[in-house]
Structures are given as C-alpha cells and as structure tokens.
Amino acid sequence: MAKISPKNIAEAVYKATEGKSKQDLTAVLKRSVRVLENKRMLGKSEEVLNALQNIFDKKTGTVRMKVATAKRMEHPKRSKLEDEIKIKYKAQIVVGEFLEKEELLGGARVEVRDEVLDTTYSNKLHQLEKFLIQGK
Amino acid sequence: MSNHIIENLRKEIEAFKADTKTEKVGHVIEVFDGIAKISGLSDIKSSEMVTFQNGETGVALNLEEDTVGVVILGDFSKIKEGNEVKATGKILEIPVGDSLLGRVVSPLGQAIDGKGAIKADKTYPIEKVATGVVTRQSVSEPVATGIKVIDAIIPVGRGQRELIIGDRQTGKTALCIDSILNQKGQNMICVYVSIGQKDSKLRKIEARLEEGGAMAYTVIVSAGASEPAPLSYIAPYAGVAVAEYFMDKGKDVLIIYDDLSKHAVAYREISLLLRRPPGREAYPGDVFYLHSRLLERACRRNAKYGGGSITALPIIETQAGDISAYIPTNVISITDGQIFLETDLFYKGIRPAVNVGSSVSRVGGNAQIKAMKKVAGTLKLDLAQFRELEAFSQFGSDLDESTKRQLERGKRAVEVLKQLQYSPVKTEHQVVTLYALTKGFMDDVPVEKIKAFEQGLTDYSERNAKTFYKEIKDTKMWTNKGEKELEKVIEDYKNSFS
C-alpha cells in the first residue's frame, strides 16, 4: 500500500471541508483529527497544516512574504513592496510578515515561497569575506 | 610593505561587487547518516550542487514530490533541522588544470597533500555523457605496462578498459602502481583514484610514486576510508573528469579505479539511506549503470577530435575467488577484458599472480607492437598446455620426449614471467627475453638460473644488438636483419653464460 503523505491528508481535508456549513465543518475537522490519530500521523500535524495552508493559498491566489530588515519598515514602503510582489507573482492577495533583525545591519531580505532576495549589508559583508578568502 | 598590502586590499575591496539576485532556498527537514531531506528548492535539477548554511556542499540525488534528498559531501554533524539550503544552479563539478599534476586531491578538487591550494584553470562537470561514436576510433596503440605477462599475453591498448580482478592481497594495486611507474617518458598522464582505502596505504603509494619520479605526470584523487560514503561515490567520476581535461588537450591518460567494489558498496549505502528499493545483494537496481556510465567515458578519440585517449584499469576485489558475484560479473561484462589474479598462484611464488587461462584482453591484441606479437604469439597456448600437462604428469613418470620438452619449456616460461614488484621491464627487454624463451635458447638453462640468465641477456643484448634495439624503439617493427643480429647475440651470450 502506498504511503500517505501529509500533502495527501491536507488535500483530503480540503475536499471534505469544501462548501460545508459551520456545523458540518466542525464534525469534519474532528473526524480529520481522528484519521490522523488512526494513521499515527499526529506528529506530522504541522506538515499537514502547512500543506493545507498552501492549498488554500493556491486556491485564493495568496502569496506569503517574509521581510526582514534592520530597522522597522515604514508603511508606504511596505505597501509598495506588496504591490511589487503582487505583480511579480501574479497574486490576488499578498500577506506580509515584517520582522526586525538588528544583525542584518541594513537593507532587506525578502522571502517568497522558496525564493530569497537578500540585499542586506550582513549578506554583502559575508560575500566580501568569501571573495577575499577565495580570491574570486 | 604594509602600505603595499593596504593599497592592494583597498583595490580588491573597490573591485568587489556584491551579487543581489534572487536565490532558490530550501530548509532542512531531516538529517541522518550523511543524507538531508530538504523542503522547498522546487526547480532543482538532479545532481545539482547545494550549499548549506554552515558552508558544507551537497548533491541533490532524490527529487521527490515535496522534498529533495541531498547527500552531504562533508561533515554532516553540524547541519541542523531548519537550516537554510541554497541551490547553486550548477551541476557538481571539479576544478581541473595542469597544476593538479603531482598533487593529491579530494573528490571535490581540494588539496589534501598539505602542499597548498591548487590554482585551477577551469572546472569540469563530474557527471558527463560519454564521448560519442563519431569522435572515437579503434584501439591501436599499446599501453606499455612494463609487466611481462600483461604486455605479452593480455596486452592493453590506449583507450581500452581492462579489469583487474582478484581476492585481497593478490597484488592488484601493485600491478597498477607498476604500470604508472612504467609510463615515465611514454607521453602518458596517470590518474589514480583511491576509493575507501586506508590513508596509510595511500601515503605509501604516493611515496612510491614520488620515489619513482612518477608524480610528475600523476594525479591522485582520494576518498579515504574515514570519509563519508558520498565522497567515495563521486571519487571515480571526479577522477575521470580530471582525465577528460587532459584528454581534451590531446593527451593519453591512464586512469586506475582502486577499487570499484568499495564504490558499489558506498553507492549501496547511499541508496538504502535514500530509501531506494534494494535488489540483488541489496544493491540498487541501477548499480550496473553506475559502472557502465563511468567506464564508457574511457575512449580513444580520432585525430579530428584531438586524438587523446583514456585507458581505464578498474579494480574489483572478489571474495574467496568468486568472480560470479554481482558486481564482478557486471564489471566483467562492461570492460574489454580482465586480468585475473589468484591467491594460490601468489602463494606459490608466481608473482604477478596472473591466471593466464582466465585472463583475456578483447581488443588489446590490435594494439600490440609487431615485435611483441611475433615473439609472444604462442606463449598463451604454450602456458595453457603446460598447465594441463603439469597436472597430468603428476600421475605418472613415463613421459615421452616431446611432453618432457613441453613441461621444461613451460617451467621456464613461468619463471620468465615472474617479476618483482616496482620493477617494470622495458618493451625491448621483454621482446629479447621472450624471443630467447620461445626459440628454445633457455631450454638447457637450469630453471633456478633463468632469472640470472635473463638479467645478463638483457644487459648484454642492449650493448651488442644495437640495430635491433633501435628498430624496436623507433619503428616497433621486426625485420629479418634485426632478428639475425639478435639470434647471434643470444648465442654469443649463452656461450659465455655457462
């Protein structure tokens, strides 16, 4: 028998919950948890939830973005960045998570899906270090 | 001085431009026994290099629906769950260049001989499709190994793949080292790939090659016994990538894989950890392809494509002489012949312990020089008949004259083909000795004096049969004039010998 992956469970949950009323939804979700327990997959619940999140995001055209900067990013810059991401990834909605990390020194690190654009000073210094050590 | 350093550093820093491009990243979900499962990296290619947060390199081998199975080429103990992994967009490659000559490098091209960093000209991919049919030509030039039994009976040609197979401690590595030592002045580059060998053994080999002046034209690629399995897995591919660099420059290369049994074991370990289905002897289904794609890269290019060649001498270690095990049969079927070494012969004092009956060279005969062909033509048959008669003669003492003669000749042939380690013999000397043997000049020399006779004969003939030696060296041909001169010289020597 083929092994069930967290992605398979998430797809099943999504299908089972599609178009259900609030009352039915509670029952379906309870049963889903029982399936996870029966299949001894409760330990993988985090992966199932992530997979479910991805399915919802795909259906709703949502793109999740993680932005890390050394100093707090002001609102106009945030919305400008969100607009850029919307265009680049052809997204309907952009959900941004903005973090402050002093160790980045300056610039920003933007993470969308499995792509990263790192313009932080700490990254540039790291590249310079490598360049000086390797001579290339 | 200090100003000069500061100025240079300032220039370097000013010339530096940081890359700001989008990178593909993933995250480590699981790490175990040199394998990492990565999430993300959706566009990664098979065999693409990845770099971990701590600077270690890995290769993507398993591309699954949600995850990527990566083998870690180095210390995996510092890689943690959640670490970032970057795709490099490059297929695994090794730095190559003339500066590799005389060096010992890891399969990733890093110097491990303590002689400083290697300045490479360019990089070559480790995995590459073998050169095509159009660019190839038949094997027609010999590789002079300096080992009489090989050069005379199982000749190896440039571009050939000849397997060296035998149990442990039968002299497989010694044959290869002798072959490397004999390449001095033969316009040949040598690559010795050590897979899963003890560092002490490698050190001895390096020292021996250094002593024989062979490191000047040799590169050693080593994945030691203490290195993780992925390094052993990529070592032969790294070695052949180095060989291809020299071949592309029109040079002839001799590559030795020591040994492919350990390579198969390393690949089995990786495959099982990656949860690939096991097959016969728990090896994965593609273990044949593992070796066939490697050995297919040995070839001889035609003049239009540079004319270089790669001659491969893979080694396989058998268990209790079982050549019908999985990996030995696979490699036997891939190669163009095999040199079979036997423990019994080794302990009988017949060294190199080559079993002439089971050994064969399928294409090497075309590469043998005329002179050698002439003198060694019937040697294999004579030896086979000798072995049969030897077994038969143990049952009775009443033997006819011709049988006795054959037995005596056989004993002398066995004696002539014995050779000490690290003492390769020049082709011209081999021709002289074998001529004396096959023409019966040694028939009345006592067996225990054969070695002394041979030594004296080669020295004497080199001094007195100059025309013959010149012909063999320059034209590799055999003429009646040369033969007459040689015959006379041998007769003269024989008279003085007793």
Separation between Cα atoms, residue B155 and residue B144, nearest integer Å: 8
Separation between Cα atoms, residue B62 and residue B39, nearest integer Å: 12
DSSP β-bridge partners for residue B314:
B257
Separation between Cα atoms, residue B417 and residue B412, nearest integer Å: 9
Residue B385 DSSP SS3:
helix
pLDDT for B169 equals 93
Calculate mean pLDDT across residues B406-422: 92
Residue-wise pLDDT for B261-270, tens only, equals 999 999 999 9
Phi, psi of A108 (to 5 degrees): -145, 155
Q: Please tell me whether the peptide bond between B107 and the residue prior to it is cis, using omega within 30 degrees of 0.
A: no
pLDDT for B91 equals 92
Probe site for chain B from A5, A113, A114 (most B CB atoms < 10 A): A114
The position carrying tokens 């029952």 is: A27
Answer for the pair B196, B223: CB distance below 8 angstroms, yes or no: yes
Residue B373, annotated ligand binder? no
- Nearest CB among A5, A118, A128 relative to B66 is that of A5
Residue B217 domain-assigned?
yes
Other Cβ atoms closer than 10 A to A117: 15
**B41 and chain A in contact, CB less than 8 A:** yes
As a whole-number percent, the residues of chain B with pLDDT over 70 amount to 99
Residue B1 domain-assigned?
no
Phi, psi of B67 (to 5 degrees): -130, 165
Calculate mean pLDDT across residues A78-89: 91
Same domain, B189 and B263: yes
Same domain, B86 and B165: no
Residue A10 DSSP SS3:
helix
Contacts of B389 (CB under 8 A, 6+ apart): B403, B406, B407, B410
Calculate mean pLDDT across residues A71-88: 91
Q: B92-114 burial string, b = 16+ CB within 10 Å, else e?
A: bbbbbbeebbbbbbbbbbeebbe
Same domain, B30 and B147: no
Separation between Cα atoms, residue B98 and residue B376, nearest integer Å: 38
Residue-wise pLDDT for B338-365, tens only, equals 999 999 999 999 999 999 988 999 998 8
Chain A contacts to B (CB-CB under 8 A)? 5, 7, 51, 111, 113-119, 123-124, 127-128, 131-132
- Nearest CB among B18, B25, B65 relative to A124 is that of B18
Separation between Cα atoms, residue B490 and residue B488, nearest integer Å: 5
The overall longest dimension of chain A from CA atoms, in Å, is: 65
Residue B241: both structure tokens together: 């990538």
The residues spanned by each domain of chain A are: 6-58, 61-135
With a cut of 70, say whether residue B449 has pLDDT above it: yes
Residue-wise pLDDT for B190-214, tens only, equals 999 999 999 999 999 999 999 999 9
Same domain, B309 and B180: yes
Same domain, B129 and B274: yes
Binned at pLDDT 50, 70 and 90, residue B121 comes out as confident
With a cut of 80, say whether residue A31 has pLDDT above it: yes
Separation between Cα atoms, residue B323 and residue A57, nearest integer Å: 58
The last residue of one of the domains, among B333, B368, B403, is B368
Residue B3 domain-assigned?
no
CA trace torsion A79, A80, A84, A90 (10° rounding):
30
Tally of domains within chain B: 3
- Chain B, 404-443: which have a CB under 8 Å from a chain A CB? none
pLDDT for B397 equals 67
Same domain, B347 and B386: no
Question: Where residue B82 sits, what CATH number does that domain have?
Answer: 2.40.30.20
Phi, psi of B422 (to 5 degrees): 60, 30
Separation between Cα atoms, residue B107 and residue B487, nearest integer Å: 52
Calculate mean pLDDT across residues A68-77: 90
How wide is the angle at C-alpha B243 spanned by C-alphas B148 and B215, nearest 5°?
Answer: 60
pLDDT for B378 equals 83
Calculate mean pLDDT across residues B72-79: 90
pLDDT for B203 equals 95
Same domain, B341 and B275: yes
With a cut of 60, say whether residue B44 has pLDDT above it: yes
- Looking at residue B97, what DSSP letter applies? -
Separation between Cα atoms, residue B478 and residue B459, nearest integer Å: 20
Residue span of the structural domain in which B81 resides: 23-91
Phi, psi of A18 (to 5 degrees): -60, 120
Same domain, B321 and B391: no
Q: Are the beta carbons of B65 and A5 separated by less than 8 Å?
A: yes
CA trace torsion B79, B80, B83, B89 (10° rounding):
30
C-alpha neighbours within 13 Å on the C-beta side of residue B162: 28
Binned at pLDDT 50, 70 and 90, residue B1 comes out as low
Phi, psi of B115 (to 5 degrees): -105, 20
pLDDT for B4 equals 83
Probe site for chain A from B9, B14, B16 (most A CB atoms < 10 A): B16
Q: Are the beta carbons of B19 and A117 separated by less than 8 Å?
A: no
Residue B335 domain-assigned?
yes
Residue B8 domain-assigned?
no
As a whole-number percent, the residues of chain B with pLDDT over 90 amount to 73
Residue B389: both structure tokens together: 């008669």
- Looking at residue A73, what DSSP letter applies? P
DSSP B230-265: HHHHHHHHHHHHHHHHHHHTT-EEEEEEETHHHHHH
Other Cβ atoms closer than 10 A to B63: 14
Separation between Cα atoms, residue A92 and residue A85, nearest integer Å: 10
Answer for the pair B181, B424: CB distance below 8 angstroms, yes or no: yes
Answer for the pair B445, B167: CB distance below 8 angstroms, yes or no: no
Separation between Cα atoms, residue B298 and residue B244, nearest integer Å: 9
The last residue of one of the domains, among B69, B91, B113, is B91
Answer for the pair B360, B346: CB distance below 8 angstroms, yes or no: no
Same domain, B82 and B201: no
Same domain, B360 and B419: no
Residue B12 domain-assigned?
no
Same domain, B158 and B271: yes
Residue B116 DSSP SS3:
coil
Q: Which residues of A touch B9 (CB under 8 A)?
A: 132
Residue B165 domain-assigned?
yes
Does residue B362 have an active-site annotation?
yes
The catalytic residue among B276, B293, B362, B387 is B362
pLDDT for B284 equals 96
The position carrying tokens 């990013």 is: A73
Lowest average pLDDT, out of B28-32, B68-72, B234-238, B386-390, goes to: B386-390
Residue B333 domain-assigned?
yes
How big is the A-B interface in CB pairs under 8 Å? 42
Residue-wise pLDDT for B460-480, tens only, equals 999 998 888 888 888 888 888
pLDDT for A1 equals 55
Same domain, B259 and B176: yes
Residue type for position B320: A
Question: Where residue B378 sits, what CATH number does that domain have?
Answer: 1.20.150.20
Q: Which residue of A has its CA nearest to B9?
A: A132
The last residue of one of the domains, among B40, B65, B91, is B91
Q: Which residue of A has its CA nearest to B117?
A: A134
Separation between Cα atoms, residue A32 and residue B222, nearest integer Å: 53
Q: What is the ipTM of this complex?
A: 0.80
